[in-house]
Amino acid sequence: MSSVLLTNIGELLADPDLPPLKDAAMVLESGRVQWVGARVAAPQADLSQDLAGRAVIPGFVDSHSHLVFAGERSAEFAARMAGESYAAGGIRTTVAATRAASDEQLSARIGSHVAEMRRQGTTTVEIKSGYGLTVHDEARSLALAKAFTEHTTFLGAHVVPQEYVDDPASYVDLVTGPMLEAAAPHAKWIDAFCEVGAFDVDQARAILSAGAAVGLRGRLHANQLTAGGGVQLAAELGLIAVDHCTYLSDADVDALRESGTIATLLPGVEFSTRHPYPDAKGLLAKGVRIAIASDCNPGSCYTSSMPFCIALAVREMGLTPAQAVRAATRGGAEALGESDIGHLNVGAKAHVTVLDAPSYVHLAYRPGVPLVSEVIG
């Protein structure tokens, strides 16, 4: 495969843990970063592309999304903005539409959203099931998602479906038995919504333990709507990440720091539900690892835009632009257990996002502006 020199880069954020390089260049070959450095020292390559002073950053790593669904819930959003509170039961509205949709319809919707994400700089995305909630529909949701990402997550424990609302214990048995058996071949991860109106700590522990027994790594939705035991469960189990973390006690923060479990923050949810934003700045100050993801879903957060989430994290969660971009790139990669994405050091996958701006700071400085001019890899 031909080598490509990207030159005349105004600012190159190769390593989100280090200051950016100015007047830089990089060489890509065979899908990997082969060289990074000053423009004047750049080696020869088979091809060359002049980026005319634009900034380059790693592709965003969106470690939390729900893209396998049909229908939409704009009426619910409008009602919530008029003062009604979000409840987990809204998920059941999407379940009915998803069950009724064909494979072709669901696949087209996933593809549309993945393409939309890529246009905004996202090069890696995790995709959950969770809107089928039958053995057949959860397995097919994951099989369809697997065509778009290797990071598929079984979320049969999203909410108790209507047909089991009077017998949630039997639904947990279904999730940990026949549903898990059907879903596991198509999934890398297992997740549960540990929240009032969904699954309690004991149920979530049983579900995650069953997944671990068949080789699925655990993740968890926790402490989104209330302060509960989900975050401490994630720490107890040594999960790689626990997502939402909107309502945290001092004990929760201590547990996150001591376990090393990453708090994946989803600022688009707080924007769309009017819940308080997590104190990301405070979490970092206390030694907690963080990531930022979109949580793209049709109910509580219908955005696929990582730049929007970065801007929110800076404005509403106390992060600097550098901290927010780090959380959306390397932080997301760490939340997926990946070491060769989320940065552009030599040897990394060549997942490159070019900005129509002189600096990555413009992602927060110019919120809502379509700054991604090109995505490579």
Same domain, 203 and 307: yes
Token pair in block for residue 326: 């780090």
The answer to whether 208 touches 178, Cβ cutoff 8 Å, is no
Assess whether 130 and 151 both reside in one domain: yes
Q: How far apart are CA 268 and CA 286, in angstroms?
A: 23
Decide if 348 contacts 340 (C-beta within 8 A): yes
Q: Indicate the SS3 state at residue 273.
A: helix
State the CATH number of the domain containing residue 370: 2.30.40.10
Q: How many CA atoms lie within 13 A of 350 on its CB side?
A: 18
Q: What are the Cα distances from residue 118, in Å, to 58, 92, 271? A: 12, 29, 22
Q: How many CB atoms neighbour CB 146 within 10 A? A: 16
371 shares a domain with 285: no
Q: What is the pLDDT of residue 212?
A: 98
Q: How confident is the model at residue 1 (pLDDT cuts 50, 70, 90)?
A: confident
Q: What are phi and psi of 350, to 5 degrees?
A: -80, 65
**200 and 311 belong to one structural domain:** yes
State the average pLDDT over residues 358-369: 98
Q: Which tokens belong to 112? A: 């549309």
Task: Please check whether residues 312 and 169 belong to one and the same domain.
Answer: yes
Number of domains the chain is built from: 2
Tokens of 150: 């290797």
Do 351 and 221 have their domain in common? Answer: no
DSSP 8-state symbol, 180: H
Percent of the chain with pLDDT over 90: 95
Q: 3-state DSSP call for residue 263?
A: strand
Q: What is the pLDDT of residues 312-354, one digit of tens each?
A: 999 999 999 999 999 999 999 999 999 999 999 999 999 999 9
State the amino acid at position 220 in one-letter form. Answer: L
What are the pLDDT digits (tens) for 79-117? Answer: 889 887 655 457 888 999 999 999 999 999 999 999 999
Say whether both 43 and 71 belong to one domain. no
Same domain, 14 and 73: no
In terms of domains, do 158 and 67 share one? yes
- 199 and 206 in contact (C-beta within 8 Å)? no
Integer Cα distance of 121 and 369 in angstroms: 13
Return the C-alpha torsion angle 134, 139, 140, 144, nearest 10.
140
Q: What DSSP element (H or E) covers 43?
A: none
Could you tell me the residue range of the domain that residue 357 belongs to?
4-58+343-376
Instruction: Compute the distance between CA of residue 59 and CA of residue 343 in angstroms, rounded to an integer.
Output: 8
Q: What is the CATH number of the domain that holds 261?
A: 3.20.20.140
How high is the pLDDT of residue 91?
85
52 and 68 together in one domain: no
Looking at residue 86, its pLDDT comes to 55
Task: Take residue 98 and report the two structure tokens written for it.
Answer: 């998803």
143: helix, strand or coil: helix
Of the candidates 208, 175, 168, the one whose C-alpha atom is nearest the C-alpha of residue 190 is 208
Distance of CA 217 to the CA centre of its chain: 16
Give the pLDDT confidence of 33-61 residue by residue, as tens digits.
Answer: 999 999 999 999 999 999 999 999 999 99
Distance CA 293, CA 151 (A): 14
Residues 166 and 53 placed together within one structural domain of the fold: no
Tell me, what's the pLDDT at 79? 85
Write out pLDDT tens, residues 242-280.
Answer: 999 999 999 999 999 999 999 999 999 999 999 999 999
Tens of pLDDT, residue by residue over 190-208, are: 999 999 989 999 999 999 9
In terms of domains, do 31 and 98 share one? Answer: no
